Amino acid sequence: MVRAQLNDPSPEDLADFLDEHLREGRCLVQVASECEVLYSGRAASVAEAGDYLVIVKRDGSVQVHSHRSVKPVNWQPQTDDLFVGVEDGLAVLRAERHSPNEMVRIAFLAPALAQALWLREADGFVLMGSEAEMQRALARHPEIIEDGLEVLDAELPTDVGGIDLFARDARGRLVVVELKRGKATQEAVHQLSRYVHSVRRLGDDVVRGILAAPAITAPALNRLGALGLEFREVTALPELEPDGPAQPPLFAGV
Amino acid sequence: MVRAQLNDPSPEDLADFLDEHLREGRCLVQVASECEVLYSGRAASVAEAGDYLVIVKRDGSVQVHSHRSVKPVNWQPQTDDLFVGVEDGLAVLRAERHSPNEMVRIAFLAPALAQALWLREADGFVLMGSEAEMQRALARHPEIIEDGLEVLDAELPTDVGGIDLFARDARGRLVVVELKRGKATQEAVHQLSRYVHSVRRLGDDVVRGILAAPAITAPALNRLGALGLEFREVTALPELEPDGPAQPPLFAGV
DNA sequence: ACATGAATATTGGAT
DNA sequence: ATCCAATTTTCATGT
């Protein structure tokens, strides 16, 4: 899994290392180093000298991590071109992509460690509890939302977007259902409201609007009521069994 | 910067390594290994045996990276508790957080490399071209949007959200301005429409709505026109000079 | 603690 | 290629 490793490399050695393993090896390459990072594209940023962990993956994606946060300080998804060189006595990595046109440039001021990893393609990843799953489940069992509900369509396109579930209730009224896999916010209420108005414009039928989610914020519930719309609690995942490990934690987060 | 390193560790050695450097060292720790990853919380997921690069930062955040994509396969932001142990002959890391209650569990099937890094706190990061910056610049120079525009308020709260810029035009009409730092979509048009309707409800004044962004999608522009709203092209960042450091003005209305 | 909205959002899917 | 909507969005901010 570890293809190569380099400690305290010279700028030239680091540049060679990056070139070799990014160009031919197609490895995931990391460098721990004091860096200077420039970004220019959709926005622009400068990170002055600081310690960072730089990761370049096989798809050309680049991320610059600091000591905190899951989100990198600088990054670039799937770049089209990578350039490596020595400029002013420093190893430099430049990652560019087109559409949008942007660029990240990393200067390695004091590289401490570089390594090339070969990670085999992994499969067998399964995610449960997505909104798509929720939609399939409710389309098959609409009684979870309400008895007598008959689903007419899923992802029904309107002029203002796609309706998650379109149905008819036991009394023949049209029902627009908007699903959220997490706590519903005012944004979701606005979305539902748009769809309901759009459907109402089509005819004189009575149209109900139901927001189905595991929870809803208080302001969102207020607005929902003010607009004459409804909320249905629908859990996206089964409840978790609380298991008692009885093990002291390493540390408590800051 | 490199505090410690371990090649092909035994499960016990890896567990000790993690314990030592996460608990006391408060280092950033990485492990390259064949892993099995379980996640349970807002959603749930299973990643069967595969090669991953695991990063645990000093704030307790955990990320599991595969060979592609800037986004981790599994992650956990700023956990409250970390647990390390040996279970069934495998080193195991568990990261939990409350609110929301969730958990990631990583079993290291075949650890190839572990290392502890000390990254000094870095400062000197500057980002340019945020929407907040755009808002400040346009509030000071509203003529970029339109001659004779007088800004009355920024982030003006309404019952449907905050209006980015609220103004009066040369002919005394009220103007609602919605800003986007990227290409504006239908969502932005709906947002603007909501604000305009909200302001119109307050009185009998004529209210204009302007969407100010560097670009707009074709469907969004159609809808905007259908709703009687307007688009103004406003670039969030100055054009890039091929080589010169010359500092053009921050914003250019086109 | 909760709600809101921006983000260099990223990513996948549909058109 | 473009557009749209979900995301375990994350993250900062205001209340």
Closest CA of chain B from A171, distance in Å: 32
Q: Which of B94, B117, B140 is the last residue of a domain?
A: B117
In angstroms, rounded to a whole number, what is the distance separating the alpha carbons of residues A56 and A64? 9
Tell whether A181 is within 8 A of chain B (Cβ).
yes
- Distances, alpha carbon A244 to alpha carbons A61, A241, A247, B120, in Å: 40, 10, 9, 37
Rounded distance between C-alpha atoms, residue A237 and residue A181, angstroms: 9
**pLDDT band at residue B249 under the 50/70/90 scheme:** very low
Give residue-wise pLDDT tens across range A129-176. Answer: 999 999 999 999 999 999 999 999 999 999 899 999 999 999 999 999
The two structure tokens encoding residue B146:
């339109």
Q: In this complex, do A253 and B22 lie within 8 Å of one another by their Cβ atoms?
A: no
Which nucleotide across the nucleic acid strands is nearest to A184, CA versus C1'? C3
Q: Does A150 lie in the same domain as A111?
A: no
Same domain, yes or no: A8 and A113: yes
Whether the CB of B46 is less than 7 Å away from nucleic strand C comes out as: no
**Chain B environment of A112 (Cβ under 8 Å):** 1-2
Q: Give the pLDDT of residue A246.
A: 58
Interval B62-115: pLDDT, tens: 999 999 999 999 999 999 999 999 999 999 999 999 999 999 999 999 999 999
Considering its fold, how many domains does chain A have in total? 2
Residues of B in contact with A73 (CB under 8 A): 122, 125
Indicate if A68 and A150 belong to the same structural domain. Answer: no
**Which of these three, B117, B147, B171, is where a domain ends?**
B117
Question: Based on the domain organization, do A104 and A12 belong to the same domain?
Answer: yes
> Token pair 């749930």 is at which residue?
B44
Q: Is B9 in the same domain as B107?
A: yes
In the prediction, which pLDDT does B254 show? 24
Would A82 be classed as within a structural domain?
Answer: yes
Residue B176 has pLDDT above 50, yes or no: yes
Partners of B92 in beta bridges? B85, B107
Mean pLDDT across chain A: 92
**What's the 3-state SS for chain A?**
CEEEEEECCCHHHHHHHHHHHHHHCCCEEEEEEEEEEEEECCCEEEEEEEEEEEEECCCCCEEEECCCCCCCCEEECCCCEEEEEEECCEEEEEEEECCCCEEEEEEEEEEEEEEEECCCCCCCEEEECCHHHHHHHHHHCHHHCCCCCEEEEEEEEECCEEEEEEEECCCCCEEEEEECCCCECHHHHHHHHHHHHHHHHHCCCCEEEEEEECCECHHHHHHHHHCCCEEEECCCCCCCCCCCCCCCCCCECC
Tally: H helices and E strands in chain B: 4, 15
- Residue labelled with tokens 């934690």: A249
Percent of all residues in chain B with a pLDDT value above 90, rounded to a whole number: 87
The closest nt to A61, taking CA to C1', is C10
What DSSP element (H or E) covers B95? strand B90-97
Per-residue pLDDT for chain A (254 aa), expressed as one digit of tens each?
Answer: 999 999 999 999 999 999 999 987 789 999 999 999 999 999 999 999 999 999 999 999 999 999 999 999 999 999 999 999 999 999 999 999 999 999 999 999 999 999 999 999 988 999 999 999 999 999 999 999 999 999 999 999 998 999 999 999 999 999 999 999 999 999 999 999 999 999 998 887 899 999 999 999 999 999 999 999 999 999 877 654 445 455 677 665 44
Residue B95 domain flag = yes
Q: A58 and B68 in contact by Cβ < 8 A?
A: yes
Evaluate whether residue B58 is within a structural domain.
Answer: yes
Q: Give the per-residue pLDDT at A239.
A: 56
The per-residue pLDDT for range B16-70, each reduced to its tens digit, is 999 999 988 789 999 999 999 999 999 999 999 999 999 999 999 999 999 999 9
Q: What angle do CA B50, B56, B60 make, to 5 degrees?
A: 130
The residues, any chain, with a CB within 8 Å of residue A45's CB and separated by 6 or more, are A37, A38, A39, A74, B125, B126, B127, B128
Asked if residue A250 is part of any domain, the answer here is no
Q: Are residues B183 and B216 in the same domain?
A: yes
Between the alpha carbon of residue A161 and those of residues A107, A213, B11, B131, B219, the distances in Å are 45, 19, 52, 26, 11
pLDDT value at position B39? 97
* Distance (Å, whole) CA A64 – CA A71: 9
Can you give the pLDDT at residue B236?
A: 78
Report the CATH number at residue A140: 3.40.1350.10
User: Cβ contact (<8 Å) for A70 and B72?
Assistant: yes
Q: Nucleotide C13: nearest residue by CA–C1'?
A: A132
Is the CB of B130 less than 7 A from some atom of nucleic acid strand C? yes
**Model pTM?**
0.92
Backbone angles phi, psi at B214, to 5 degrees: -70, -20
Instruction: Tell me what percent of the residues of chain B surpass a pLDDT of 70.
Output: 93
Helices A186-202 & A218-226 angle (0-180, nearest 10): 20
Could you tell me which chain A residue has the CA closest to the CA of B40?
A240
- Residues A52 and A111 reside in one and the same domain: yes
Q: Does pLDDT of B245 surpass 70?
A: no
- Pairwise CA distance, residues B209 & B70, whole Å: 37
Residue A76 sits at the chain B interface (C-beta within 8 Å): yes
Q: Determine the Cα–Cα distance for residues B190 and B188; give it in Å rounded to an integer.
A: 5
Q: Which of B65, B87, B117 is the last residue of a domain?
A: B117
Does residue B210 sit within a domain?
yes
Q: Which nucleotides in chain D lie less than 7 Å from some protein C-beta?
A: 1-12
Residue A181 phi, psi dihedral angles, 5° rounding: -80, -15
Evaluate whether residue B19 is within a structural domain. yes
Provide the chain A residues 147-176 that lie in CB contact (below 8 A) with chain B. 160-161
Query: Is B235 part of the contact surface with chain A (CB cutoff 8 Å)?
Result: no
Q: Which residues contact B116 (CB under 8 A, 6 or more apart)?
A: B2, B3, B4, B5, B17, B21, B25, B27, B28, B29
Does the N-terminal peptide bond of residue A100 adopt cis geometry, omega within 30 degrees of 0? yes
Closest nucleotide (CA of A221 to C1')? C3
> Both B112 and B156 in a single domain?
no
Q: Is the Cβ atom of A130 within 7 Å of strand C at any atom? A: no
Q: Is residue A248 part of a domain?
A: no
Closest-CA residue to A189 (of A174, A172, A176, A170): A176
Residue B123 placed within a domain:
no
CA distances from B86 to B14, B51, B106 (A): 9, 19, 11
Contacts of A250 in chain B (CB under 8 A): 18-19, 22-23, 81-84
CATH number for the domain spanning B34: value is: 2.70.180.20
Same domain, B154 and B249: yes
Other CB atoms within a 10 A radius of the CB of residue B56 amount to 26
Which amino acid, residue B35?
A: C
* Spatial distance between the Cα atoms of A12 and B165, rounded to a whole number of angstroms: 52
Pick the residue of B8, B68, B131, B193 with the most A CBs within 10 A to test the interface with A by mutation: B68
Q: Are residues A6 and A112 in the same domain?
A: yes
Give, in Å, how far the C1' of C5 lies from the CA of A33: 35
pLDDT band at B248 (very low <50, low <70, confident <90, very high): very low
The answer to whether residues A7 and A110 belong to one domain is yes
Q: Is the CB of A77 under 7 A from strand C?
A: yes
Full residue range of the structural domain in which residue A205 is found? 131-233
Residue B241 has pLDDT above 70, yes or no: no
Q: Are residues A69 and A137 in the same domain?
A: no
Q: What is the DSSP letter of B143?
A: G
Q: Answer whether the bond into residue B11 is a cis peptide, omega within 30°.
A: no
